[in-house]
A and B are shown apart, each in its own frame.
Chain A
Amino acid sequence: MEYLSIVFQEVYKILFLLVPVLVSVAMIVWLDRRVWAFVQKRQGPNVVGPFGLLQSLADALKYIFKEIIIPSSSNKVIFILAPIVTMTLALIAWAVIPFSATQVLADINVGILYLFAVSSLGVYGIIMGGWASNSKYPFLGAIRSAAQMVSYEVSIGVIIINVLLCVGSLNLNDIVIAQQNMWFVIPLFPMFVIFFISALAETNRPPFDLPEAEAELVAGYQTEYSGMMYAMFWLGEYANILLMCAMGAILFLGGWMSPIDVYPFTLVPGAIWLILKILLLFILFALVKAIVPRYRYDQLMRLGWKVFLPLSLIWVVLTASYLFYFNLLPVN
């Protein structure tokens, strides 16, 4: 009985976290299309519901009622598993995101490593989908995404080391609290820029959307998918984008803390500040999609390995030397 009540409590907490995440994923798709449209002086989706707010729901309904086609020469188990993996990995990462000092599902010691591990597993959904489709375009897309995501993960890892040097803990709440006096975006601004661009590459967003480059690869790894399975890829992708935004907000923009530590601002709950910061980063993501042309593949690789990796490594040395010389290293 005791076990059961604990299980029910946890399930309640998980639902309370995941349902808002899924709803906000649907809303964020709408926001993405709206921002994209406004940059290009169009209206965007504005018909279904007020301001077109219900557009994503209409789309979801359409996907649900479409037939799921499984190619006869595909590897069926892996083909079906791929969107499930993408979606699951995008959702389990939210377990460690702190919405305030106490509002966190799992306050684990190695929170940032967990986030990094889950985001680095995200590539499997794409590789599995691309390979199992047994078709040329998805396979090319899968290979592209494997190379791309592995490359940019390296620089994200080094950037995380930069932040951790200033914090002295792998716990996400500690990382947020360490930014009480100054957000890390100020001293580590170059790292923030590199993190943002690497996050674009990690989530296959334009200008780095080569795995699904529609001009060359039809739709890349998702070419053979249809109906709800395609929608799951889509949801997973946007949940991953939200997650990267949350990661950026926690690492550089002070997570759930209010921008100024003055009375009326501190009354606002931490969750709202975090959501506002995630939204800010997401609008930047959407703007980048609207204004930047797609990279060529060799340029993408060059940017990752020859520019970002050396830069962030040098910055690690600089940060460490600065902290050591001025005796600012965090010691517990």
Chain B
Amino acid sequence: MIAHAIFFYTFSIIAVVSAIMVTASKNTVHSVFFLILDFISISCLFIMIGAEFLGMIMLIVYVGAVAVLFLFVVMMLNVAQQKNQWFAGQQSSKHIPVGLIISTLIFVEVIIVIGGWKYKPEIFDINNSISQVSISNTHSLGQILYTDYIHVFQISGMILLVAMVGAIVLTFRQRSGVKRQSYIKQISRERAEGVEVLEVQSNKGVKLDD
């Protein structure tokens, strides 16, 4: 039990500290690295409560894909230029009220969830019933996702697909004057249309492309 507690507090302290560092560090790339550290320690916490599937999916999706794209974008931005704009303290006052409202909302939501857990435990009985079954985490998740909640699951997948298509449509632009490689054209090219054998007469030469 002691080892369990040590691990729990280590991971949660790392998670909280790195979450603070995400907002506190001046360098954007460092922020993303702290975000990654946060994701990793949270997935460790997931694994510690026995939700190994969630922990691994967290690693694969957030750390392996989302954060890589974050890093990709942040590194491409001209960070030095932004430092002057963002950290000069002139424009930032406009964003503070909005940020405060959103963070208060999230805080209230967290209080509601934790309070409900504390004072109305019967609401969460459905969750407890799953973990008591002696099958693995992944199996129980699959059994509940693909039976009781199949429609919600499918709809959320559809929403993600629509969001992806929407993002592509919004950012897609057809550029003119770009030479594209057509593989079918290349492969189906015959010798007859590509090569022409000419008799070259001396002192006259050949004229091409007239």
CB proximity of B18 to chain A, nearest CB, Å: 14
Question: CA–CA, A213 to B207, complex, Å?
Answer: 41
Interface residues of A in 141-166 (CB under 8 A from B): 142-143, 146-147, 149-150, 153, 157
Interface residues of A in 70-127 (CB under 8 A from B): 78, 108-110, 113-114, 116-117, 120-121, 123-124, 127
User: Are A150 and B60 CB-contacts (below 8 A) given A3-B3, A78-B33, A143-B76?
Assistant: no
Query: Closest residue to B135 on the A side, CB-wise?
Result: A332
Complex interface: stretch among B51-59, B122-130, B153-161 = B51-59
Contacts of B59 in A (CB 8 A): 117, 120-121
Judge whether A282 is part of the interface by a CB distance below 8 angstroms. no
Q: Are A124 and B36 in contact (CB under 8 A)?
A: yes
Judge whether B136 is part of the interface by a CB distance below 8 angstroms. yes
Q: Are A114 and B56 in contact (CB under 8 A)?
A: yes
Query: Closest residue to B57 on the A side, CB-wise?
Result: A113
Question: CA–CA, A114 to B58, complex, Å?
Answer: 11
Q: Are A123 and B60 in contact (CB under 8 A)?
A: no
Contacts of A131 in B (CB 8 A): 29, 71, 75
Judge whether B146 is part of the interface by a CB distance below 8 angstroms. no
Q: Are A113 and B56 in contact (CB under 8 A)?
A: yes
Judge whether A139 is part of the interface by a CB distance below 8 angstroms. yes
Residue of A113, A143, A146 near B60 (CB, 8 A) is: A113
Query: Closest residue to A130 on the B side, CB-wise?
Result: B75
Contacts of B21 in A (CB 8 A): none
Interface size on B, residues (CB 8 A): 25
Q: Are A110 and B60 in contact (CB under 8 A)?
A: no
Residue of B29, B71, B138 near A170 (CB, 8 A) is: B138
Judge whether B163 is part of the interface by a CB distance below 8 angstroms. no
Judge whether B12 is part of the interface by a CB distance below 8 angstroms. no
Chain A at the B interface: SS class: helix
User: Are A120 and B72 CB-contacts (below 8 A) given A110-B138, A113-B53, A170-B138?
Assistant: no
Interface size on A, residues (CB 8 A): 29
Q: Are A109 and B76 in contact (CB under 8 A)?
A: no
Q: Are B64 and A121 in contact (CB under 8 A)?
A: yes
CB proximity of B33 to chain A, nearest CB, Å: 7
Query: Closest residue to A150 on the B side, CB-wise?
Result: B68
Query: Closest residue to A127 on the B side, CB-wise?
Result: B71
User: Are A121 and B75 CB-contacts (below 8 A) given A109-B52, A127-B68, A150-B68?
Assistant: no
Interface residues of B in 124-153 (CB under 8 A from A): 135-139
Contacts of A114 in B (CB 8 A): 56
CB proximity of A74 to chain B, nearest CB, Å: 13
Judge whether B65 is part of the interface by a CB distance below 8 angstroms. yes
Residues of chain B whose beta carbon lies under 8 Å from any beta carbon of chain A: 3, 29, 33, 36, 52-53, 56-57, 59-60, 63-65, 68-69, 71-72, 75-76, 135-139, 181
List 20 extra interface pairs beyond A110-B138, A146-B68, A332-B139, CB under 8 A: A109-B52, A109-B136, A110-B52, A110-B53, A110-B137, A113-B56, A113-B57, A117-B56, A120-B63, A123-B64, A123-B68, A124-B36, A124-B68, A127-B68, A127-B71, A143-B76, A146-B71, A153-B64, A153-B65, A170-B53
> Can you show 24 pairs from A to B with CB atoms below 8 A apart?
A3-B3, A109-B52, A109-B137, A109-B138, A110-B52, A110-B56, A113-B56, A113-B57, A113-B60, A116-B56, A117-B56, A117-B60, A120-B60, A120-B64, A120-B65, A121-B64, A127-B68, A143-B75, A147-B72, A149-B68, A153-B64, A157-B60, A170-B53, A332-B135
